[in-house]
Amino acid sequence: MSKRPAQACPPAAKSARQSDLVSEMILNRPAILYTGDVALPKEAAVSSVFVVGQPAAMKAFVAAAPEFLKQELSNFVTAHDDASSATVSRPSQIVTMIKQTDLTGEDKFVKLVLINIPTEASRHNNPARPDAVAKALVKFPDFTAPGIRAVHVFALGNTARDAAVTGISVGRAAFRFNLSTKRGVPCEMPSPKITVGVWSAESGPASKELCEALGVVVDKMRMSATLTDMPTNFLNTTTYVSFMERLVGDLKALGRDMKMNVIKGNELEEQGFGGLWNVGKACTANPPALVVLSWNA
Q: What is the mean pLDDT of the chain?
A: 83
Residue 6 in any domain: the answer is: no
- Residue 52's pLDDT band (boundaries 50, 70, 90)? very high
Question: Could you tell me if 270 and 124 lie in one domain?
Answer: no
Q: Is residue 23 part of a domain?
A: no
Which burial class, exposed, middle or buried, applies to 182 when counting CB atoms under 10 A from its CB (0-12, 13-18, 19+)?
exposed
Least confident of 32-46, 65-79, 129-143, 175-189: 175-189
pLDDT band at 38 (very low <50, low <70, confident <90, very high): confident
Nearest CA-CA partner of 203 in 263, 161, 171, 151: 161
- Of 227, 253, 287, the last residue of a domain is 227
241 and 222, same structural domain?
Answer: no
- Find the domain containing 283 and state its range: 237-295
Residue 8 domain-assigned?
Answer: no
Same domain as 66, residue 208: yes
Residue 4 lies in a domain: no
Q: So what's the pLDDT on residue 5?
A: 45
Span 92-119, pLDDT tens digits: 888 998 877 666 667 788 899 999 988 7
Determine the pLDDT at residue 234.
83
Q: How far is CA 267 from CA 90, 273, 278, 287, in A?
A: 53, 8, 12, 11
Report yes or no on 109 lying in a domain: yes
User: What pLDDT sits at residue 294?
Assistant: 93
DSSP 2: P
- For residues 167 and 263, membership in a common domain is answered with no
Task: Clarify whether residues 220 and 73 are in a common domain.
Answer: yes
**C-alpha span between 184 and 161 (Å, rounded):** 44
Asked whether 207 and 36 are in contact (CB, 8 A), the reply is yes
Q: Are residues 178 and 207 in the same domain?
A: yes
Q: Tens digit of pLDDT for each residue in 182-232?
A: 555 555 666 778 999 999 999 999 999 999 999 999 998 988 888 888 888
pLDDT of residue 231: 83
Q: CB–CB of 50/76 below 8 Å?
A: no
Domain boundary among 192, 227, 262: 227
Residue 26 has a CB neighbour count (10 Å cut-off) of 22
